[in-house]
A and B are shown apart, each in its own frame.
Chain A
Amino acid sequence: NAGVTQTPKFQVLKTGQSMTLQCAQDMNHNSMYWYRQDPGMGLRLIYYSASEGTTDKGEVPNGYNVSRLNKREFSLRLESAAPSQTSVYFCASTPQGANTQYFGPGTRLTVL
């Protein structure tokens, strides 16, 4: 049972490049989330998916898109990366009927 996994662990992009961050969970959780964490700002919700087939914007969705591919996988895409998107990105998931979130190890993204 790997829990929540994220790939890649590290990534460096140039301004304007695109990339997709991958997240998968093997706990049969219904809800999944994408956060970014910046110094002094705490965790900020980018997008979430309450269940397979649904996605909703969080606090800071601009510049991002998401896909809930199936119950296990929830990807985050940056279409045209900007330096302001330099951050650590965390994926999380929640079992049905619960409030607790379980986090992945994170992806450290630098946009030059």
Chain B
Amino acid sequence: QKEVEQDPGPLSVPEGAIVSLNCTYSNSAFQYFMWYRQYSRKGPELLMYTYSSGNKEDGRFTAQVDKSSKYISLFIRDSQPSDSATYLCAMSPYGNNRLAFGKGNQVVVIP
């Protein structure tokens, strides 16, 4: 079993819809959880960062972590065509800055 599982999609939604992405993981030592956004032919850029369980909101983006279920989510409200990208989840345990990545989920927002 891979440490981090992420459905690769692609996921197509109409503009203005809510996008829901998630990852599951197997390593209970993971404490730090991140979401990266990667536009086509570009490097990944950090989008959201959370520590341990709970929610974090930043504008139209909300990240949720449920450590009891080993499940993390990213929600994008009022999606825009500019949100069309691949979204990668990443996580690491305390004291180790090597990240375990999901394979990425391609999102297409249709105008």
Which residues in chain A, 88-112, are within 8 Å of chain B measured between CB atoms? 90, 94, 98-106
Nearest residue (CB) in A for B34 is A100
Nearest residue (CB) in A for B103 is A42
Contact with A along B97-109 (1 / 0, CB 8 A): 1110111100000
CB contact under 8 A between A31 and B97, given known A40-B103, A42-B104: yes
Cβ–Cβ contact B44 & A90, under 8 A: yes
Nearest residue (CB) in B for A48 is B98
A23–chain B nearest beta-carbon distance, Å: 11
Nearest residue (CB) in B for A97 is B97
Cβ–Cβ contact B42 & A106, under 8 A: yes
Q: How large is the interface on B (under 10, 10 to 19, 20 to 34, 35 or more residues)?
A: 20 to 34
Count A/B pairs, Cβ under 8 Å. 46
Nearest residue (CB) in A for B51 is A99
Contact with B along A24-40 (1 / 0, CB 8 A): 00000001010000001
Q: Is residue A43 contacting chain B, with contact meaning CB distance below 8 A?
A: yes
Cβ–Cβ contact B43 & A101, under 8 A: no
Cβ–Cβ contact B8 & A103, under 8 A: no
Nearest residue (CB) in B for A99 is B32
**Among all A-B residue pairs, the 6 with the closest Cβ atoms:** A42-B103, A103-B43, A99-B32, A43-B101, A103-B44, A99-B97
Can you list 8 contacts pairing A with B, beta carbon distance less than 8 Å? A42-B88, A42-B104, A50-B97, A58-B98, A99-B97, A103-B45, A105-B42, A106-B43
Residues of A within 8 A of B (CB): 4, 31, 33, 40-43, 45, 48, 50, 58, 90, 94, 98-106
Residues of B within 8 A of A (CB): 8, 32, 34, 36, 41-46, 49, 88, 90, 92, 97-99, 101-104
